[in-house]
Structure 1
Amino acid sequence: MRRPIPWLFLLLFLLASPLSLPAAESVPAPGQPIDFTRLLPPPPAPGSVADREDKAVVRAWQQRRTPEMEALAQADAARTAQPFLPALGRDLAPEKLPLTMAFFETLRKDADAMLGEAKAHWNRPRPPQADPDIRPSLRLPHNASYPSGHSTYATAAAVMLAGMVPERATEIFDRAEAYRLSRIIGGVHYPSDIVAGRIAGTVIAATLLENAAFVEGMCAAGAELRQNLGLAPRPCPGPGIAAKPAN
């Protein structure tokens, strides 16, 4: 039986984090490029108190991670819909969900394109590159650490998936939380990277849901998912309202 992950440890850090949500007036209008270098705060400065706290959390998880946690982190390294499918409550085969898998691949590419400039701008070294005491259990990505692309993807994907299957929204968002934490457990991201990714993923999801073609693809994927789950079809909403929960 898998040990429960002590979420309180991460939650306490996140509550104390200096990162904050962007002001409402900073959110770009639909269809406009997202300048995350202005929307997000910069990562903690090297050697600052926040930077030392970031490293301490990663080292602490390194000491407490179990083989089960490492195995989950390895499985979560893939940025596809597959890690989220078990949250839907039924064993679904990815090969039976071509529209769904293609939709979330499009989402990944869109999120990467929107986030790439910010990653290059801050160019934050990964935890093992900044602290020799941190030994990752995951392959070290070649790009920068802040904001986390996995956290960004998990957040945006959870918003989309909860819009498709609102009956499982709680389980979907819980799974996204575990997916984000896997990056800290694996030693390849700091907590502040994850917090910034949550903000970025939320903004990206809101922006994409204003795009009619994107919403059309989401509706097609949602219809495929619901059919495979044995759920009743849902009306396809227009842009801007696709993520609203059903009454």
Structure 2
Amino acid sequence: MIERAGLDGPHAAQILADIHVAMADGVIAIWDAKYTWWTSRPITEDPDRRTLVPTPPYPAYPSGYSSAMGARTTVVSHYFPEVADEMANRAWEAAASRCWTGIHYPIDDDVGLIMGRQVGRLVNSISRGGAVD
């Protein structure tokens, strides 16, 4: 999108910096919550459960991947409002994929996505950049 919009280096750098700040801050919030709540993963409740990917060895709630996608797509939507609906759908699909693989419960993904979007909105509110024309 940056390339398609023909943005100069400083504007592109601002967008990429905001995306990465939102993702990093979202991860900090998620890891704080994971070790506050210490929730089990589906495999803990059913050790015979088969997952599509290896189950991570740390608490499930909230989902870090979901948070990162929520943060990233919220910032992208701020700069490129014409793709906001597509970004929201992609974030939801990414979050839901963690449940589909068997390593999260739906609430883990839902809350991770909500937290990521909240962090993304905060980054957008303090950023100096606006929507790309």
Same fold (TM over 0.5): yes
Report the Cα distance in structure 1 between the residues aligned to 2:20 and 2:41, rounded to whole angstroms: 25
Flag the structure with higher helix content. 2
1:124 aligns with 2:43: no
Match in the other structure for 2:108 = 193
Match in the other structure for 2:21 = 106
1:166 aligns with 2:81: yes
Alignment equivalent of 1:148, drawn from 63, 66, 86: 63
Count of paired positions: 124
| CA pair 106-208 structure 1, distance change in 2 beyond 3 A | closer
Shift in Å at residue 203 of structure 1?
Answer: 2.3
State which drifts further: 119-128 or 202-211.
202-211
TM-score (norm 1): 0.44
Report the Cα distance in structure 2 between the residues aligned to 1:104 and 1:188, rounded to whole angstroms: 26
Report the Cα distance in structure 2 between the residues aligned to 1:151 and 1:140, rounded to whole angstroms: 15
- Deviation track 1:140-182 (CA, whole Å, cap 9, x = no partner) reads 2232100111112222222111111111122111111111111
Match in the other structure for 1:182 = 97
Report the Cα distance in structure 2 between the residues aligned to 1:206 and 1:106, rounded to whole angstroms: 12
Larger relative contact order (CA 8 Å, sep ≥ 6): 2
When Rg is computed on C-alpha atoms for both structures, the one with the higher figure is 1
Report the Cα distance in structure 2 between the residues aligned to 1:177 and 1:202, rounded to whole angstroms: 11
Report the Cα distance in structure 1 between the residues aligned to 2:57 and 2:26, rounded to whole angstroms: 17
| CA pair 106-177 structure 1, distance change in 2 beyond 3 A | same
Q: Is the 2:18–2:75 contact (alpha carbons within 8 Å) kept by the matching residues of 1?
A: no
- Deviation track 1:108-132 (CA, whole Å, cap 9, x = no partner) reads 2111112222110111122112212
Report the Cα distance in structure 2 between the residues aligned to 1:104 and 1:138, rounded to whole angstroms: 27
| CA pair 178-167 structure 1, distance change in 2 beyond 3 A | same
Shift in Å at residue 102 of structure 1?
Answer: 5.0
Match in the other structure for 1:133 = 48
RMSD, matched Cα: 2.6
Identity %: 28
Match in the other structure for 1:80 = none
Report the Cα distance in structure 1 between the residues aligned to 2:52 and 2:85, rounded to whole angstroms: 29
